[in-house]
C-alpha cells in the first residue's frame, strides 16, 4: 500500500528540505521585525502587526513541513532493497484442499517480519495439508484483484480470501467504478469457491499515524466512503467482511483501537501497514468469522475439484 508515495519520497524529501530551510530563514527575519517594531512603540508597533501575521502563518507552515518530514522518514524506513524484501507466502501442496488469497499489499503480507506471519502464512500453518496460492500484488486496486483471481486458473478453491480497498482509498478511486469492480470480484470469487469467500478491509489506513493530522482527516473521511461500498456489496453478496477496527471510524473516536493506542507494537516501520502482531490480530478476527460461518474444513475430506 502507498507504494507510489514511497517511490517519490526521495524527491519529496528534497522539496521539503528546501521549503523548510526557506521557512526557517523567513521566520527568523519576521521575528526580528516584530520584536523591533513592538519595542519601538508608536506607529512602528502598529506596523509590526503585518509581519506578526506573516510570522504566525510561517510558524504554521513550519509545523506542516516538520510533519511531512516525519511522514517521509517513516515511509523511507519501510522501503527495503529488492533483495531484502520478503516474498509473499504460498505453499504448493497438490492433491489436497486449496485456498486462494488475492488483493493488495496487506494480502501480500507487506509489513510482516516474515511471510509466515502474514494472513496467507498463518493459514498455511493452521492448514498444513492445504495448498495456499497467493496472487496478491503490492499496490493493487480492487479492479486488479479481478485479474489476480483469473490468473489463479479455472480449478475451484475451498476458500478465497479477498483483501483489498486500501489503495482505492489512497488513489481516490471513484466510488461507482469501485462498487462495480467489487461486485464483479465477489461474484467471480463466489463462483470459484462455492460461496466460501471472506473479505478483509484495512480500515486503519485513514488513521495511520505516519500522516499529518490534516491528511488523516481527509483519508479518514475517504475511508468511511469506501467502507460503505464494501459493507453494501458484501451484504448484497452475503460474504463475511472482516474489518480491522473499523468501529473506531463509526464512533468517530480512536478508542479501543490497539493500532492507535500502541502503534509501536502493531504498525510496521512505515507506520502504514500492520506488522506481524497486527496481522495476528487481523487473523484472529478472520478465524472467528470462519468458525461463525462454518468455513472451516477437514483436510481429510476430498478436495472440491474431486467432488
pLDDT in tens, 178-208: 999 999 999 999 999 999 999 999 876 667 7
Asked if residue 18 has pLDDT above 80, the reply is: no
Is the pLDDT at 83 greater than 50? The verdict is: no
C-alpha cell of residue 188: 467471480
- Which tens digit of pLDDT belongs to each residue from 62-79? 555 555 555 555 555 544
C-alpha cell recorded at residue 234: 458484501
Q: Which residue ranges make up each domain of the chain?
A: 3-77, 82-306
In the chain, what is the straight-line distance between the N-terminal and C-terminal CA atoms, in Å?
Answer: 38
Q: What is the mean pLDDT of residues 228-236?
A: 95
Long-range contacts of 220-227 (CB under 8 A, 24+ apart): 220/249, 222/169, 222/172, 223/169, 223/249, 224/249, 225/175, 226/165, 226/168, 226/169, 226/173, 226/175, 226/178, 227/165, 227/201, 227/203
**Strand order, beta sheet including 159-163:** 131-134, 98-103, 159-163, 197-201, 241-243
**pLDDT reported for residue 286:** 92
pLDDT tens readout for residues 213-227:
777 788 888 888 999
> What is the average pLDDT score of the chain?
77
Q: Which CATH architecture has domain 82-306?
A: 3-Layer(aba) Sandwich (3.40)
**Who has greater pLDDT, 173 or 37?**
173
Cα–Cα distance list, 227 to 27, 162, 172, 183, 231 (Å): 42, 14, 13, 14, 6
d(CA 262, CA 141): 28
Cβ-contact 276, 285 below 8 angstroms: no
C-alpha cell at 33: 521585525
The pLDDT, as a whole number, for residue 102 is: 97
- Judge whether residue 47 has pLDDT over 70: no
- pLDDT for 109 equals 93
> Per residue in 122-149, pLDDT tens?
999 999 999 999 999 988 999 999 999 9
Closest residue by Cα to residue 279 from 249, 244, 307: 244
Residue 130, phi then psi, degrees to nearest 5: -100, 140
Is the CB of residue 130 less than 8 Å from the CB of residue 71? Answer: no
pLDDT attached to residue 22: 56
What's the confidence (pLDDT) of residue 248?
A: 47
Q: At what angle do helices 276-292 and 119-126 cross, to 10 degrees?
A: 60
pLDDT tens digit string along 158-173?
999 999 998 998 889 9
Average pLDDT over residues 263-292: 88
Distance of alpha carbon 90 from alpha carbon 101, whole angstroms: 9
For residues 31-48, b (16+ Cβ closer than 10 Å) or e, as one string? eebbeebeeeeeeeeeeb
Beta bridge partners of 163: 103, 200
Amino acid at each position: 500500500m502507498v507504494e507510489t508515495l514511497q517511490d517519490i519520497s526521495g524527491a519529496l524529501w528534497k522539496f521539503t528540505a528546501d521549503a523548510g530551510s526557506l521557512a526557517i530563514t523567513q521566520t527568523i527575519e519576521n521575528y526580528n521585525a516584530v520584536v523591533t517594531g513592538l519595542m519601538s512603540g508608536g506607529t512602528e508597533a502598529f506596523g509590526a502587526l503585518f509581519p506578526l501575521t506573516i510570522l504566525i502563518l510561517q510558524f504554521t507552515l513550519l509545523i506542516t513541513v516538520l510533519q511531512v518530514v516525519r511522514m517521509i522518514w517513516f515511509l523511507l524506513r519501510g522501503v527495503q532493497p529488492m533483495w531484502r524484501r520478503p516474498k509473499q507466502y504460498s505453499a504448493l501442496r497438490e492433491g489436497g484442499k486449496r485456498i486462494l488469497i488475492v488483493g493488495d499489499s496487506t494480502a501480500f503480507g507487506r509489513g510482516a517480519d516474515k511471510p509466515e506471519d502474514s494472513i496467507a502464512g498463518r493459514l498455511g500453518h493452521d492448514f498444513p495439508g492445504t495448498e495456499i496460492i497467493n496472487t496478491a500484488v503490492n499496490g493493487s486496486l480492487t479492479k486488479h484483484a479481478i485479474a489476480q483471481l483469473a490468473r489463479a486458473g479455472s480449478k475451484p478453491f475451498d476458500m478465497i480470501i479477498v483483501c483489498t480497498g486500501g489503495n482505492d482509498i489512497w488513489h481516490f478511486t471513484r466510488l461507482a467504478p469501485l462498487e462495480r469492480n467489487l461486485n464483479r470480484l465477489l461474484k467471480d470469487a463466489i463462483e470459484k469457491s462455492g460461496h466460501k469467500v471472506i473479505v478483509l478491509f484495512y480500515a486503519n489506513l485513514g488513521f495511520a499515524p505516519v500522516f499529518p493530522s490534516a491528511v488523516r482527516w481527509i483519508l479518514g473521511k475517504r475511508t468511511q466512503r469506501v467502507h460503505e461500498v464494501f459493507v453494501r456489496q458484501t451484504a448484497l453478496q452475503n460474504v463475511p467482511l472482516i474489518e480491522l477496527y473499523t468501529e473506531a471510524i463509526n464512533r468517530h473516536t480512536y478508542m479501543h483501537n490497539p493500532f492507535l493506542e500502541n502503534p509501536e507494537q502493531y504498525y510496521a516501520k512505515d507506520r502504514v501497514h500492520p506488522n506481524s502482531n497486527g496481522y495476528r490480530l487481523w487473523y484472529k478476527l478472520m478465524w472467528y468469522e470462519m468458525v461463525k460461518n462454518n468455513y472451516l474444513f477437514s483436510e481429510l475430506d476430498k478436495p472440491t475439484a474431486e467432488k
